[in-house]
A and B are shown apart, each in its own frame.
Chain A
């Protein structure tokens, strides 16, 4: 008889493989296995958030201090004030007002907590964007026309060598940053028409924007490939230790995939004859 812990591990592997393949089956077409997995996931995710908030915020930050220290007066540290702890009733009450959302008559009360959240994040955003983004980025772009020493480097590099290419690129870096940022800012300037010099600058600005989108595209591709790569490694290459022995994930994958294919063939050939046509 397999110990319970091992059975749990094996079941976990089975579930992991099942849910991975269930999502991948969407690539063939929308199907009941995918829909089941997706709906189950939505439920699990919602439950996860509630439990998480309960354990990390509600209990330690609100319930325990308020009830134990505030109401019962137990275990108040010398540097804490009981009055301040009792003030936790304010965020508690504002939080509870969220529930007012669920009734049409009281839903306006739910705006109170939303207003505090939006106000706080607006305040933090103002400071963050002004102090962390705007000023340092402008500051970083206050540059001389050429990087000091880059011309000497370019002159010293042998002609038609890769070294010369790097020296050239290095020499262009300050002009590119200066011209690029200025031209892009002109592109996003809406008070004058793009004609003549402004028009030309705006056009150069769009070029820089396109290059920067190209970079984003290239890096997005990299991330997406990595994500599937990790899943493929999990399904086909990895081994899972269960007790003393190593289970090959590929074997589990083969079994689960075969079962899924049988089900899908049955579903699309037979069961769906009467069903209404699906989208996609």
Chain B
């Protein structure tokens, strides 16, 4: 590995590739957030996960059994908990439209009022705020395993037909998914905690993987800052893809011993000096 191209003068030490990538990406994020404010219906492909959530709610309605929604076990300082509320609002709205019971166990004292507000908002959006009652959002315990045991108790007693696990989960992921599976409910999970994804994938009917979780919230809420970010990341990913393809081409030529044509010298310089710094 050669040293990165630098521009070190005085107190400055500008690592150019990092600097350029950061400036480019930041500009892209800000630009697309700006655009998203003007055009909130920017295209995001429909996600199978959202359809899966809606189908699960539909089945719960058919069976006349409740929907269980767990917004993760992290506090409000975790961004996933906050984004989980976007999905909860959507779920609350759907549930209110069908008149299906909803249960939201929470693991943090601070999350509880937030979840209450969100469910009320969802009910109001569906035009039936009178459905709200105190038994919907249930604060269990701040302690991980106590919360898990209590939630498992709810699953076994009230047998929800749909279990939605959306947010930041840790070791309890597999215990909740196992109990839900045993109780025969349709399970949809979503988390950006990569370590827990394998356990959700094997025990749930559908899993929103990492970035899909954030994309789902952007899709549902149409909030400019979420939407613009997803679009900006897509844009940057497209650039990465182009870079990888170009790199593949150039590297293969080099491997085959084909001399790079003089016309492509510019590309060659960029790929060799910038990418392989």
Question: Footprint of B on A, CB under 8 Å?
Answer: 26, 30, 38, 42, 126-127, 130-131, 134-135, 138-139, 141-146, 148, 178, 181-182, 185-186, 188-194, 209-210, 213-214, 216-217, 220, 279-280
Contact = CB atoms under 8 A, between A and B. Distances in A.
B194 interface: yes
Interface string B195-223: 10111011000000111100100000000
Contacts of A193: 45-46
B44 A213 contact: no
Given A146-B255, A191-B231, A191-B234, A181 B195 contact: no
Interface in B29-87: 43-47
Main DSSP-derived SS at the B contact region: helix
Given A214-B198, A279-B153, A148 B255 contact: yes
Contacts of A141: 244, 247
5 contacts: A138-B275, A142-B247, A144-B251, A216-B195, A216-B197
Nearest to A142: B247
Main DSSP-derived SS at the A contact region: helix
B143 A42 contact: yes
Contacts, number: 108
A220 B244 contact: no
A209 B22 CA distance: 27
A182 B237 CA distance: 10
Nearest to A206: B209
A145 B252 contact: yes
Interface in B234-270: 234, 237-238, 240-241, 243-245, 247-248, 251-252, 254-255
A144 B248 contact: yes
Interface stretch (B129-137, B144-152, B161-169, B181-189): B144-152
Contacts of B209: 209
Interface stretch (B13-21, B91-99, B116-124): B13-21
